[in-house]
Amino acid sequence: MTLPEASVAPVAILGGTFNPIHNGHLRSALELVERLGFARLHLMPCATPPHRDAPDCPATRRADMVELAILGEPRLCCDRRELARSGPSWTVDSLQELRAEYGPQRSLSLVLGCDALLGLDRWHRWQALLDFAHIVVIARPGWQLPEQGAVADWLTRHRAAEPSAVQQHPAGAVLVLELRPLDISSTEIRALCAAGRSPRYLLPEPVLDYIEKHQLYAAGIDF
């Protein structure tokens, strides 16, 4: 596909705990870049997740793993902005900052997995997210879109039928996309490490080396 000019091409943001980043995140990010023509996709590790227990693994280590995972892929970048802020890492604050940086015309899209979408109405100022960005929902193995409740109603109101809504407007639409399903989760990788089993090939080798070097998910692991 022909990419739109970098100065006007859409930009995406994939936030997460990335504890650790894995091939499910990375393959989805790359497919999104190529399917929707994003000039750049920010992988944005969360410092202090407001909606789940704080990970044992420090945010700086999780961000280091993101950096290692994307070496050599210039369309993906590691965005450490939430590590620099104190207090809970509200996504809406990050989107507001990104909107100020990219200006009012640039198309920005926040990427969420289906699991994240289901709890969206518990996010701080969730109704304001679409003021700053589109939301692209990745249909994830084993998850379904909400069928009733506040998020289901919101989805009905804002859902776009075509990717062009995301490419041609700065913010305000929800696009649901099916990407190649890779049934990988950070939870499973941590569990494998804790059980002394290898998570190799579920995540990039430099990330695995980093986990081993810093003994992140189990004491004395040797893959």
Q: Report the interface residues with ligand ATP, using CB under 6 A.
A: 14, 16-19, 24-25, 28, 112-113, 115-116, 138, 140, 182, 184-187
Residue 109 Cβ vs ligand ATP, minimum distance, rounded to whole Å = 13
Strand partners, 45: 16
Output 138 or 221, the one with its CB closest to ligand ATP: 138
For ligand ATP, which is the closer residue by CB, 100 or 201?
201
| Least separation in angstroms between CB 123 and ligand ATP | 12
Rank residues 184 and 221 by Cβ distance to ligand ATP and give the closer one. 184
In order, the DSSP letters of the chain are: -PPPPTTTS-EEEEEE--TT--HHHHHHHHHHHHHHT-SEEEEEE-SS-TTSPPPSS-HHHHHHHHHHHTTT-TTEEE--HHHHS-S---HHHHHHHHHHHH-SSS-EEEEEEHHHHHTGGGSTTGGGHHHH-EEEEEE-TT-----SSHHHHHHHHHB-SSTHHHHHSSS--EEEEE-------HHHHHHHHHTT---TTSS-HHHHHHHHHHT-SSTT---
Q: Which lies closer to ligand ATP via its Cβ, residue 107 or residue 185?
A: 185
Least distance to ligand ATP, CB of residue 8, Å:
26
Nearest to ligand ATP of 26, 39 (CB atom): 26
CA 120 to chain centre: 14
Q: Residue 101 Cβ, how far from ligand ATP at the closest point, in Å?
A: 22
Nearest approach, Cβ of residue 145 and ligand ATP (Å): 13
In the complex with ligand ATP, the residue whose CB is nearer, 5 or 33, is: 33
Q: Shortest Cβ contact with ligand ATP: which residue?
A: 113
Residue 8 phi, psi dihedral angles, 5° rounding:
-125, -10
Considering the complex, what minimum distance in angstroms separates the CB of residue 18 from ligand ATP?
Answer: 5
